[in-house]
Chains A and B, each alone.
Chain A
Amino acid sequence: MRTFPDPPIPLAVELRRSFRAPAERVFRAWTQPAALREWWCPPGWAATAVEIDLRVGGAYSIAMRRTDGPGAVAVRGRFIEIRPPERLVFTWRWEGAFPDSPEAKVVIELRHAAGITELMLRHEQFADDGMRHLHWSGWLAACGRLDRLLEEAAG
């Protein structure tokens, strides 16, 4: 059983995935517009604009629209940390989706060994002003269930 820090833990999702490619190639896939156009959009969606200013504080945006009907969304943010080919941190905000959702942070970490690159992705909500005043611990301790949910989600 984990103990919860106070003030709040942000909501977070963590995923791990291995790719049969060097870390440099995986890193480029995340940071080059031409590569992102190739893999970012799910079927039925097309990238209308991919802009990347790859420097700390630089902005990025990936705009997509449905190919089979109306519907457009975009993801925008700024780079917080750029350390090729092992670490990329950026802010994350949907436009046209999750309208009231606070800005989030995405951390990508890459580790290469024996021809395999392991990617760790963490997507977490910022502790914005609303969240900052949320002292989860008492309530969470009383309910005693969130750590199980987080463990399951992270596992």
Chain B
Amino acid sequence: MKPAAVRDGGAPARSAAADGGELDAIFGALSDPIRRAIVARLTEGECSVSQLGAPFAVSAPAISRHLAVLERCGLIARWQIGRVHYCRLIGDPLAQAAGWIEQRRAFWQGQLDGLAAYLDREEENSCAPSPTRPSR
């Protein structure tokens, strides 16, 4: 038999590098309601840390710990001007999710191309009628 045609070579290994831990870290960071609320607030734009903490009934050190978690997984950046601390969103978790979807979609599209080519070859190669072909 001929090798499967019309395929995008190396799909399994190609998609291996960009996935995995990073996405897990983001899911982990977003497993906390306060951190999700912080991310939601930051989607509107950068903000000082004290403004950011205002709606939450948690201490400033607790906010700081949440920000450290978000910073570690690359979701936010923090900086200081004078005595004011600021932060903003840098990672885009939705882009990560879209990347996850796109990788799988590309992989499966390649697989289904291969399946279609195989079914066509099988059809051509079958001299006798296939026993499972519906007779009706």
Chain B 114-136 against A: per-residue CB contact (8 Å), 1 yes, 0 no? 11111111110000001011100
Chain B residues touching A, range: 35 or more
Does B82 touch A at the CB level, under 8 Å?
Answer: no
The tally of residues in A whose CB lies under 8 Å from a CB in B reads: 53
Chain B 89-114 against A: per-residue CB contact (8 Å), 1 yes, 0 no? 00000100110111011001111101
Interface SS of B by simple majority: helix
Does A43 touch B at the CB level, under 8 Å?
Answer: yes
Chain A 20-36 against B: per-residue CB contact (8 Å), 1 yes, 0 no? 11101110110000010
Show the binding face of A for B, using Cβ within 8 Å. Answer: 11-13, 15, 17, 19-22, 24-26, 28-29, 35, 38-45, 64, 66, 71, 73, 94, 96-102, 119, 121, 123, 130-131, 133-136, 138-139, 142-143, 145-146, 149-150, 153
Number of A-B contacts (CB under 8 A): 154
Show the binding face of B for A, using Cβ within 8 Å. Answer: 1, 3-4, 7-13, 15-16, 19-21, 23-24, 27-28, 30-31, 33, 36-37, 39-41, 43, 94, 97-98, 100-102, 104-105, 108-112, 114-123, 130, 132-134
